[in-house]
């Protein structure tokens, strides 16, 4: 669902237009993605880098 399809209960206009404070707040809330403002791709990249460093540290400690 996108805010293009929603109609505001307060002002009866499309939420995408953001005519009232409620429209703007809901539009902004719907457009937030990821964790802490980070996109899912960045989160996956960070997790992969952490995994790489953990495996490298384990390999160096074992040798």
pLDDT tens by residue, 17-29: 888 998 888 888 8
Q: Are residues 59 and 48 in the same domain?
A: yes
Q: Are residues 2 and 25 in the same domain?
A: yes
Q: What is the pTM of this model?
A: 0.46
- 28-40 pLDDT, tens per residue? 887 776 666 677 7
Tell me the residue range of the domain where 54 lies.
34-63
Distance CA 39, CA 26 (A): 19
Q: Are residues 45 and 62 in the same domain?
A: yes
Look up residue 14 and give its DSSP letter: B
Looking at the structure of the chain, the number of domains it has is 2
Distance CA 31, CA 24 (A): 11
Short-list 23, 24, 30, CA closest to 9 = 23
């Amino acid at each position: 669902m996108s805010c293009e399809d929603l109609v505001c209960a307060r002002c009866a206009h499309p939420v995408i237009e953001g005519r009232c404070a409620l429209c703007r707040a809901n539009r902004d809330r719907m457009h937030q993605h990821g964790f802490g403002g980070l996109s899912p791709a960045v989160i996956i990249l960070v997790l992969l880098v952490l995994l790489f460093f953990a495996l490298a540290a384990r390999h160096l400690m074992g040798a």
